[in-house]
Amino acid sequence: MTELHRLLGQLVLVLAVLSAVWSAVLVVRGRRGGPLFIVNLGWTVAAALLSALVGVPLLAGGPGPSDPLHLLYGALAVAALPGAALVALGRPPRERAIVMLIGTVVLLIVVLRLFQTG
């Protein structure tokens, strides 16, 4: 189960990098993301949530992470993109792209910290 948790974390990292690059391109072009971008963000959030759900039995049945901050970072990883999407609602396309870029960068930082505190 630990290996699955780590593998899902790596998937979140790859999807977050893709989302950040895609968001940066949208910022440069002054556009908002289309359906494929939204699907990518959805898969990223789903992978983060699945990783967190796989981590719950690990927490309940074992010693838990080496650093308690891992739990906080896990919650932030799940909430980063939905939170950014809420902030982006109703904004012009370029501002939406900037907000989503910030959200994806925050997610990247949090995921990297998760690997350090696991």
Q: How far apart are CA 45 and CA 41, in angstroms?
A: 6
> For position 112, what pLDDT does the model report?
96
Task: Evaluate if residue 118 carries a pLDDT over 90.
Answer: no
Nearest to 114 by CA among 78, 77, 80: 77
- Domain extents for the chain? 2-117
Q: How far apart are CA 103 and CA 115, in angstroms?
A: 19
Give the Cβ contact number of residue 90 at 10 Å. Answer: 8
pLDDT in tens, 13-51: 999 999 999 999 999 998 888 899 999 999 999 999 999
Give the Cβ contact number of residue 87 at 10 Å. Answer: 15
pLDDT in tens, 76-91: 999 999 999 999 999 9
Q: How far apart are CA 103 and CA 105, in angstroms?
A: 5
Q: How far apart are CA 117 and CA 102, in angstroms?
A: 22
Find tokens 């999407």 and name the residue: 85
